[in-house]
Amino acid sequence: MALDESNENDTVFENDGLTFIVEKKLLEDAKTFEIDYLVSAQGEGFTINSGLKQADGCGGGCTSCG
Residue 4 inside a domain? The answer is: no
Query: At residue 1, does pLDDT exceed 80?
Result: no
Residue 34 inside a domain? The answer is: yes
Domain count, the chain: 1
Q: Is the pTM of this model over 0.85?
A: no
Give me the pLDDT at residue 33, please. Answer: 82
Query: At residue 64, does pLDDT exceed 50?
Result: no
The domain containing residue 58 runs over which residues?
Answer: 10-63
E strand map for 1-66:
10-15, 18-23, 33-40, 43-53, 59-63
pLDDT tens, position by position, 2-61: 677 899 999 998 988 988 888 899 888 888 888 899 999 999 998 988 888 766 544 455
Which residues have CB under 8 Å from 14's CB, separation 6+?
A: 20
Residue 54 inside a domain? The answer is: yes
Give me the pLDDT at residue 9, please. Answer: 93
Give me the pLDDT at residue 29, please. Answer: 87
Q: How far apart are CA 37 and CA 47, in angstroms?
A: 6
